[in-house]
Amino acid sequence: MEYFGNKDILKHHKTGFLSSRKCPAEVVLKSYEWAKLQRHKGNCVVCGNHSQIEKDVFDILLKGAQPLVLVLPRGLKKRWDKSLLENIEKKRLLIISPFAIDITRVTRETAIHKNETILSLSDNIVVGYKSPNGQLDRLLTNLKFDHV
């Protein structure tokens, strides 16, 4: 596991956010509202930023002041966006990769491993949407989670 940022964030109570890539519009809107509520309450969220809904939820959360954990479906980058670096400097962001730095392409397998990492780091899970019989549906079998 590779880390960039404030590892003390892992001591917080953490809610993991997961969602299938394709989801109904009403779920997207509910996910945005959920993210705004977490930001307002100052709750620590663990999420990815691979799919569009993950990117949007992460961007909403990044506008707050609460601690945040980003899990990548690839190795850590060598260059980072200014906004991410600013939040790392503020000690409110931790970026985690379960992969070596030379893993630069996202595959189905790396995306699954990213989701497994989010599950392992989180104290509870919230799901935006899971496609019936999809990868996320299989991953969440027999696990307790909430919907947005």
Query: For position 144, what pLDDT does the model report?
Result: 86
pLDDT digits (tens, 9 = 90+) for 82-101: 999 999 999 999 999 999 99
- Per the structure, how many domains does the chain have? 1
Report the percentage of the chain scoring pLDDT > 90: 87
Separation CA 101–CA 30 (nearest Å): 34
Query: Whose CA is closest to 12, among 49, 63, 66?
Result: 66
Global confidence as pTM? 0.93
3 state SS for 58-125: HHHHHCCCCCEEEECCCCCCCCCCHHHHHHHHCCCEEEEECCCCCCCCCCHHHHHHHHHHHHHHCCEE
Residue 76 lies in a domain: yes
**Comparison of pLDDT for 51 and 69, the residue scoring more:** 69
| Residue-averaged pLDDT of the chain | 95
User: Is 119 in contact with 16 (CB distance < 8 Å)?
Assistant: yes
Residue 135 lies in a domain: no
Query: For position 30, what pLDDT does the model report?
Result: 97
- pLDDT above 90: residue 78: no
Residue 142 lies in a domain: no
- pLDDT above 90: residue 51: no
CATH number, domain with residue 37: 3.40.50.450
Mean pLDDT computed over 109-113: 94
- pLDDT above 90: residue 143: no
- pLDDT above 90: residue 142: no
Residue 106 lies in a domain: yes
> Across-strand partners of 126?
17, 146
What range does the domain containing 6 cover?
A: 2-129
- pLDDT above 90: residue 5: yes
Largest CA distance in the chain: 41
